[in-house]
Chains A and B, each alone.
Chain A
Amino acid sequence: MRHAIRIPALLVGLAFASAASAADMWVHVRVEERGGERVHVNVPIDMVGHILPHIQADRLRDGKIVLEDHDLRGTDLKEMWTALRAAKDGDYVTVRGGDGNVRVSKRDGMMRIDVDDPSDGGQQVRVRIPLRLVDALLAPGENTLDVAAAMRVLAESGAGDLVTVTGGDESVRIWVDDVASPEEGASR
Protein backbone atom coordinates (compact mmCIF):
# COMPACT_ATOMS: atom_id res chain seq x y z
CA MET A 1 0.00 0.00 0.00
CA ARG A 2 3.04 2.18 0.45
CA HIS A 3 3.51 3.06 -3.19
CA ALA A 4 -0.21 3.14 -3.73
CA ILE A 5 -0.32 6.01 -1.27
CA ARG A 6 2.97 7.69 -1.95
CA ILE A 7 2.58 8.19 -5.70
CA PRO A 8 -0.95 9.62 -5.63
CA ALA A 9 0.04 11.76 -2.66
CA LEU A 10 2.98 13.24 -4.51
CA LEU A 11 0.91 13.70 -7.65
CA VAL A 12 -1.79 15.45 -5.67
CA GLY A 13 0.82 17.66 -4.03
CA LEU A 14 2.46 18.56 -7.29
CA ALA A 15 -0.86 19.08 -8.98
CA PHE A 16 -1.91 21.41 -6.21
CA ALA A 17 1.37 23.19 -6.57
CA SER A 18 1.06 23.48 -10.28
CA ALA A 19 -0.70 26.80 -10.47
CA ALA A 20 -1.88 29.63 -8.30
CA SER A 21 -1.48 33.29 -7.89
CA ALA A 22 -1.83 34.24 -4.25
CA ALA A 23 1.55 35.53 -3.15
CA ASP A 24 3.59 33.88 -0.41
CA MET A 25 1.55 30.74 -0.07
CA TRP A 26 3.40 27.45 -0.27
CA VAL A 27 2.54 23.84 -0.85
CA HIS A 28 4.66 21.50 1.24
CA VAL A 29 5.03 17.78 0.71
CA ARG A 30 6.61 15.53 3.32
CA VAL A 31 7.09 11.82 2.77
CA GLU A 32 8.91 10.01 5.54
CA GLU A 33 9.56 6.31 5.89
CA ARG A 34 10.03 5.05 9.39
CA GLY A 35 13.80 4.87 9.83
CA GLY A 36 14.36 5.35 6.13
CA GLU A 37 14.03 7.76 3.29
CA ARG A 38 12.64 11.24 3.77
CA VAL A 39 11.57 13.64 1.04
CA HIS A 40 10.67 17.27 1.67
CA VAL A 41 9.37 19.50 -1.12
CA ASN A 42 8.44 23.17 -0.77
CA VAL A 43 6.80 24.82 -3.74
CA PRO A 44 5.80 28.48 -3.86
CA ILE A 45 2.31 28.47 -5.32
CA ASP A 46 2.82 31.91 -6.78
CA MET A 47 5.88 30.75 -8.70
CA VAL A 48 4.04 27.89 -10.32
CA GLY A 49 1.24 30.29 -11.11
CA HIS A 50 3.72 32.34 -13.11
CA ILE A 51 5.21 29.35 -14.88
CA LEU A 52 2.11 27.36 -15.74
CA PRO A 53 0.70 29.67 -18.44
CA HIS A 54 4.02 29.41 -20.29
CA ILE A 55 3.91 25.62 -20.51
CA GLN A 56 2.47 24.50 -23.82
CA ALA A 57 2.77 20.74 -23.73
CA ASP A 58 0.58 18.22 -25.50
CA ARG A 59 -2.16 18.08 -22.91
CA LEU A 60 -1.27 20.98 -20.65
CA ARG A 61 -1.91 24.30 -22.32
CA ASP A 62 -2.53 27.72 -20.80
CA GLY A 63 -2.85 26.20 -17.35
CA LYS A 64 -5.47 23.68 -18.42
CA ILE A 65 -5.27 19.93 -18.84
CA VAL A 66 -7.02 18.80 -21.99
CA LEU A 67 -9.08 15.65 -21.49
CA GLU A 68 -8.82 13.28 -24.41
CA ASP A 69 -11.44 10.97 -25.83
CA HIS A 70 -10.27 7.95 -23.89
CA ASP A 71 -10.43 9.85 -20.58
CA LEU A 72 -13.56 10.30 -18.58
CA ARG A 73 -15.29 13.03 -20.55
CA GLY A 74 -15.00 16.39 -18.87
CA THR A 75 -18.69 17.11 -19.39
CA ASP A 76 -19.64 13.90 -17.57
CA LEU A 77 -17.29 14.76 -14.77
CA LYS A 78 -18.74 18.23 -14.49
CA GLU A 79 -22.30 16.94 -14.43
CA MET A 80 -21.40 14.48 -11.69
CA TRP A 81 -19.76 17.23 -9.71
CA THR A 82 -22.69 19.58 -10.14
CA ALA A 83 -25.00 16.93 -8.75
CA LEU A 84 -22.70 16.20 -5.86
CA ARG A 85 -22.22 19.88 -5.15
CA ALA A 86 -25.95 20.45 -4.96
CA ALA A 87 -26.50 17.56 -2.57
CA LYS A 88 -26.64 18.05 1.20
CA ASP A 89 -23.63 17.49 3.41
CA GLY A 90 -23.20 13.92 4.50
CA ASP A 91 -21.49 10.61 3.89
CA TYR A 92 -21.63 9.47 0.28
CA VAL A 93 -19.58 6.32 0.32
CA THR A 94 -18.98 4.13 3.34
CA VAL A 95 -17.16 0.84 3.06
CA ARG A 96 -16.49 -1.26 6.11
CA GLY A 97 -14.50 -4.45 5.76
CA GLY A 98 -11.70 -6.54 7.08
CA ASP A 99 -9.24 -4.70 4.89
CA GLY A 100 -10.23 -1.38 6.30
CA ASN A 101 -12.82 1.34 6.31
CA VAL A 102 -13.34 3.97 3.67
CA ARG A 103 -15.58 6.97 3.92
CA VAL A 104 -16.15 9.70 1.36
CA SER A 105 -18.14 12.64 2.62
CA LYS A 106 -18.93 16.28 2.06
CA ARG A 107 -18.86 18.54 5.07
CA ASP A 108 -17.99 22.14 6.00
CA GLY A 109 -17.12 23.11 2.44
CA MET A 110 -14.74 20.19 2.02
CA MET A 111 -14.69 16.88 0.23
CA ARG A 112 -13.33 14.45 2.79
CA ILE A 113 -11.87 11.03 2.20
CA ASP A 114 -11.02 8.94 5.24
CA VAL A 115 -9.32 5.57 4.95
CA ASP A 116 -8.45 3.43 7.95
CA ASP A 117 -6.43 0.34 7.13
CA PRO A 118 -5.71 -1.86 10.15
CA SER A 119 -3.86 -4.38 7.96
CA ASP A 120 -1.08 -1.92 7.16
CA GLY A 121 0.11 -0.96 10.61
CA GLY A 122 -3.06 0.93 11.38
CA GLN A 123 -2.55 3.35 8.57
CA GLN A 124 -4.89 6.32 8.34
CA VAL A 125 -5.39 8.46 5.28
CA ARG A 126 -7.14 11.80 5.46
CA VAL A 127 -7.83 13.91 2.39
CA ARG A 128 -9.49 17.32 2.62
CA ILE A 129 -10.23 19.13 -0.62
CA PRO A 130 -12.02 22.50 -0.59
CA LEU A 131 -15.18 22.30 -2.71
CA ARG A 132 -14.34 25.64 -4.29
CA LEU A 133 -11.14 24.13 -5.57
CA VAL A 134 -13.01 21.42 -7.44
CA ASP A 135 -15.50 24.02 -8.68
CA ALA A 136 -12.63 25.92 -10.23
CA LEU A 137 -10.97 22.80 -11.59
CA LEU A 138 -14.19 21.72 -13.29
CA ALA A 139 -15.20 25.15 -14.52
CA PRO A 140 -17.89 24.97 -17.18
CA GLY A 141 -16.80 25.11 -20.77
CA GLU A 142 -14.43 23.03 -22.76
CA ASN A 143 -13.31 19.51 -22.11
CA THR A 144 -10.53 20.65 -19.81
CA LEU A 145 -9.48 20.74 -16.20
CA ASP A 146 -8.57 24.29 -15.25
CA VAL A 147 -5.59 23.61 -13.00
CA ALA A 148 -4.52 27.25 -12.88
CA ALA A 149 -7.92 28.39 -11.62
CA ALA A 150 -8.04 25.57 -9.09
CA MET A 151 -4.69 26.58 -7.71
CA ARG A 152 -5.68 30.20 -7.38
CA VAL A 153 -8.55 29.02 -5.24
CA LEU A 154 -6.27 26.76 -3.25
CA ALA A 155 -3.96 29.63 -2.44
CA GLU A 156 -6.90 31.81 -1.45
CA SER A 157 -8.26 29.06 0.77
CA GLY A 158 -5.49 29.69 3.27
CA ALA A 159 -3.41 27.35 5.37
CA GLY A 160 -4.45 23.80 6.04
CA ASP A 161 -3.77 20.13 5.51
CA LEU A 162 -4.77 18.55 2.22
CA VAL A 163 -3.49 15.02 2.65
CA THR A 164 -2.15 13.21 5.68
CA VAL A 165 -1.12 9.59 5.90
CA THR A 166 -0.12 8.32 9.32
CA GLY A 167 0.24 5.16 11.30
CA GLY A 168 1.98 2.85 8.85
CA ASP A 169 5.61 2.51 7.90
CA GLU A 170 5.36 5.73 6.01
CA SER A 171 3.89 9.11 6.74
CA VAL A 172 2.82 11.66 4.18
CA ARG A 173 1.67 15.19 4.71
CA ILE A 174 0.69 17.70 2.06
CA TRP A 175 -0.35 21.10 3.27
CA VAL A 176 -0.55 24.77 2.43
CA ASP A 177 0.82 27.60 4.52
CA ASP A 178 2.74 30.84 4.24
CA VAL A 179 6.11 29.54 5.47
CA ALA A 180 8.82 28.99 2.85
CA SER A 181 10.94 26.21 4.33
CA PRO A 182 9.47 25.07 7.63
CA GLU A 183 12.42 22.98 8.75
CA GLU A 184 15.30 24.70 6.98
CA GLY A 185 18.45 24.26 8.99
CA ALA A 186 16.79 21.99 11.51
CA SER A 187 18.12 18.89 9.79
CA ARG A 188 21.74 19.99 9.49
Chain B
Amino acid sequence: MSPRARLVATVAALAAILFAGTVTAAGVAAYREGSIRVAVHEADPEGTDFSIAVPAALVHGVVALVPDHVLPAVDPRVAEVVPVLEAICDDLERRPDFVLVETWDADEHVVVAKRGGSIVVEVEGPDGTVRVGFPVRTIRSVTGLVKAAVARGAASV
Protein backbone atom coordinates (compact mmCIF):
# COMPACT_ATOMS: atom_id res chain seq x y z
CA MET B 1 0.00 0.00 0.00
CA SER B 2 1.37 3.36 -0.99
CA PRO B 3 1.94 6.01 1.69
CA ARG B 4 -0.87 8.08 0.18
CA ALA B 5 -3.32 5.19 0.22
CA ARG B 6 -2.29 4.43 3.80
CA LEU B 7 -3.00 8.07 4.78
CA VAL B 8 -6.41 7.99 3.11
CA ALA B 9 -7.22 4.70 4.81
CA THR B 10 -6.15 6.09 8.19
CA VAL B 11 -8.26 9.25 7.77
CA ALA B 12 -11.23 7.16 6.64
CA ALA B 13 -10.84 4.85 9.62
CA LEU B 14 -10.67 7.82 12.01
CA ALA B 15 -13.73 9.37 10.40
CA ALA B 16 -15.59 6.05 10.73
CA ILE B 17 -14.60 5.78 14.39
CA LEU B 18 -15.68 9.37 15.06
CA PHE B 19 -18.98 8.82 13.28
CA ALA B 20 -19.65 5.56 15.07
CA GLY B 21 -18.70 7.13 18.40
CA THR B 22 -20.98 10.10 17.83
CA VAL B 23 -23.88 7.90 16.80
CA THR B 24 -23.31 5.61 19.79
CA ALA B 25 -23.07 8.56 22.20
CA ALA B 26 -26.21 10.10 20.73
CA GLY B 27 -27.98 6.75 21.02
CA VAL B 28 -26.91 6.30 24.62
CA ALA B 29 -27.96 9.88 25.45
CA ALA B 30 -31.32 9.42 23.75
CA TYR B 31 -31.83 6.13 25.59
CA ARG B 32 -30.88 7.63 28.95
CA GLU B 33 -32.97 10.75 28.51
CA GLY B 34 -36.01 8.86 27.26
CA SER B 35 -38.65 10.15 24.88
CA ILE B 36 -41.57 12.49 24.91
CA ARG B 37 -44.39 10.34 23.57
CA VAL B 38 -47.85 11.25 22.38
CA ALA B 39 -50.21 8.64 21.00
CA VAL B 40 -53.79 9.21 19.92
CA HIS B 41 -56.04 6.45 18.74
CA GLU B 42 -59.65 7.23 17.90
CA ALA B 43 -62.11 4.36 18.01
CA ASP B 44 -63.72 5.52 14.76
CA PRO B 45 -62.11 3.53 11.91
CA GLU B 46 -61.69 6.79 10.00
CA GLY B 47 -60.48 8.68 13.05
CA THR B 48 -57.05 9.88 14.03
CA ASP B 49 -54.43 7.30 14.77
CA PHE B 50 -50.94 8.52 15.34
CA SER B 51 -48.00 8.07 17.63
CA ILE B 52 -44.99 10.32 17.97
CA ALA B 53 -41.86 9.91 20.07
CA VAL B 54 -39.40 12.77 20.28
CA PRO B 55 -36.08 12.03 22.01
CA ALA B 56 -36.06 14.10 25.16
CA ALA B 57 -32.33 14.65 24.67
CA LEU B 58 -33.26 16.76 21.65
CA VAL B 59 -35.55 18.93 23.77
CA HIS B 60 -32.92 19.24 26.47
CA GLY B 61 -30.38 20.26 23.83
CA VAL B 62 -32.70 22.91 22.42
CA VAL B 63 -33.51 24.19 25.92
CA ALA B 64 -29.81 24.42 26.71
CA LEU B 65 -29.19 26.42 23.56
CA VAL B 66 -31.94 29.01 24.13
CA PRO B 67 -30.16 32.27 24.95
CA ASP B 68 -31.54 34.06 28.01
CA HIS B 69 -32.10 37.30 26.13
CA VAL B 70 -34.76 35.76 23.88
CA LEU B 71 -36.80 34.50 26.82
CA PRO B 72 -39.92 36.46 27.67
CA ALA B 73 -39.81 38.39 30.93
CA VAL B 74 -41.84 36.32 33.38
CA ASP B 75 -43.51 37.69 36.50
CA PRO B 76 -41.13 37.05 39.44
CA ARG B 77 -44.04 35.52 41.38
CA VAL B 78 -43.73 32.54 39.07
CA ALA B 79 -40.42 31.94 40.84
CA GLU B 80 -42.39 30.52 43.76
CA VAL B 81 -43.34 27.55 41.61
CA VAL B 82 -39.79 26.74 40.53
CA PRO B 83 -38.52 25.26 43.81
CA VAL B 84 -41.71 23.23 44.11
CA LEU B 85 -41.19 21.77 40.63
CA GLU B 86 -37.53 21.09 41.40
CA ALA B 87 -38.47 19.32 44.62
CA ILE B 88 -41.01 17.22 42.71
CA CYS B 89 -38.37 16.31 40.11
CA ASP B 90 -35.81 15.44 42.80
CA ASP B 91 -38.24 13.07 44.41
CA LEU B 92 -39.64 11.52 41.25
CA GLU B 93 -36.20 10.83 39.80
CA ARG B 94 -35.21 8.63 42.71
CA ARG B 95 -38.59 7.00 43.26
CA PRO B 96 -39.60 3.64 41.72
CA ASP B 97 -42.60 3.46 39.41
CA PHE B 98 -45.99 4.08 40.95
CA VAL B 99 -49.56 5.03 40.10
CA LEU B 100 -50.43 8.45 41.47
CA VAL B 101 -54.06 8.69 40.44
CA GLU B 102 -56.35 6.23 38.71
CA THR B 103 -60.04 6.84 38.05
CA TRP B 104 -62.80 4.90 36.38
CA ASP B 105 -66.29 5.94 35.54
CA ALA B 106 -68.89 4.52 33.20
CA ASP B 107 -66.96 5.68 30.14
CA GLU B 108 -63.42 6.59 30.98
CA HIS B 109 -60.36 5.18 32.60
CA VAL B 110 -57.66 7.69 33.50
CA VAL B 111 -54.21 6.91 34.87
CA VAL B 112 -51.48 9.28 35.99
CA ALA B 113 -48.35 7.34 36.86
CA LYS B 114 -44.61 7.36 36.96
CA ARG B 115 -43.20 4.68 34.70
CA GLY B 116 -39.59 4.19 33.77
CA GLY B 117 -38.43 7.71 34.49
CA SER B 118 -41.43 9.34 32.82
CA ILE B 119 -44.72 10.78 33.91
CA VAL B 120 -47.43 9.05 31.93
CA VAL B 121 -51.02 10.16 31.48
CA GLU B 122 -53.42 7.73 29.83
CA VAL B 123 -57.07 8.36 29.03
CA GLU B 124 -59.14 5.51 27.63
CA GLY B 125 -62.71 6.15 26.62
CA PRO B 126 -65.34 5.08 24.14
CA ASP B 127 -64.02 7.61 21.61
CA GLY B 128 -60.50 6.30 21.77
CA THR B 129 -57.28 6.42 23.70
CA VAL B 130 -54.78 9.18 24.42
CA ARG B 131 -51.40 8.48 25.93
CA VAL B 132 -48.88 11.18 26.82
CA GLY B 133 -45.53 10.55 28.45
CA PHE B 134 -42.65 12.85 29.22
CA PRO B 135 -39.44 12.17 31.14
CA VAL B 136 -39.05 13.77 34.54
CA ARG B 137 -35.75 15.19 33.31
CA THR B 138 -37.67 17.16 30.71
CA ILE B 139 -39.65 18.85 33.46
CA ARG B 140 -36.36 19.75 35.08
CA SER B 141 -35.03 21.19 31.80
CA VAL B 142 -38.12 23.30 31.30
CA THR B 143 -37.98 24.39 34.93
CA GLY B 144 -34.46 25.66 34.26
CA LEU B 145 -35.84 27.67 31.36
CA VAL B 146 -38.59 29.12 33.56
CA LYS B 147 -35.96 30.01 36.14
CA ALA B 148 -33.97 31.93 33.54
CA ALA B 149 -37.12 33.67 32.33
CA VAL B 150 -38.00 34.63 35.89
CA ALA B 151 -34.50 36.03 36.41
CA ARG B 152 -34.94 38.06 33.27
CA GLY B 153 -38.33 39.28 34.50
CA ALA B 154 -36.84 40.29 37.84
CA ALA B 155 -34.00 42.12 36.11
CA SER B 156 -36.42 44.09 33.96
CA VAL B 157 -38.48 45.33 36.94
Contact = CB atoms under 8 A, between A and B. Distances in A.
Interface of A: 36-44, 46-47, 50-51, 54-57, 180-181, 184, 187
B80 A40 contact: no
Given A36-B105, A37-B104, A55-B84, A47 B99 contact: no
A50 B87 contact: yes
5 contacts: A37-B103, A41-B100, A50-B87, A54-B86, A180-B99
Nearest to A181: B99
Interface in B96-111: 96-106, 109
Given A42-B100, A47-B88, 5 more contacts: A37-B103, A37-B105, A38-B103, A47-B92, A47-B95
Contact of A51 (B88, B103, B106): B88
A44 B143 CA distance: 22
Contact of B99 (A40, A46, A57): A40
A42 B103 contact: no
A180 B86 CA distance: 22
Interface string B63-105: 0000000000000000010011011101110011111111111
A178 B34 CA distance: 28
A46 B96 CA distance: 13
A51 B84 contact: yes
A40 B101 contact: yes
Nearest to A184: B99
Nearest to A55: B84
Contacts of A37: 103-106
A41 B101 CA distance: 5
Interface residues of B, number: 23
Contacts of A42: 98-101
A187 B102 contact: yes
B96 A40 contact: no
A39 B101 contact: yes
A43 B100 contact: yes
A39 B103 contact: yes
A184 B99 CA distance: 7
B104 A187 contact: yes
A78 to B, nearest CB: 29
Interface in B129-154: none
Contacts of A187: 102, 104, 109
Contacts of B104: 37-38, 187
B91 A50 contact: yes
Nearest to A43: B100
Nearest to A47: B91
A39 B105 CA distance: 9
A187 B87 CA distance: 31
B40 to A, nearest CB: 20
Nearest to A30: B102
Contacts of A41: 100-101
A51 B91 contact: yes
Contacts of A47: 88, 91-92, 95
Given A46-B91, A50-B91, A40 B103 contact: yes
B140 to A, nearest CB: 14
Contacts of A50: 87, 90-91
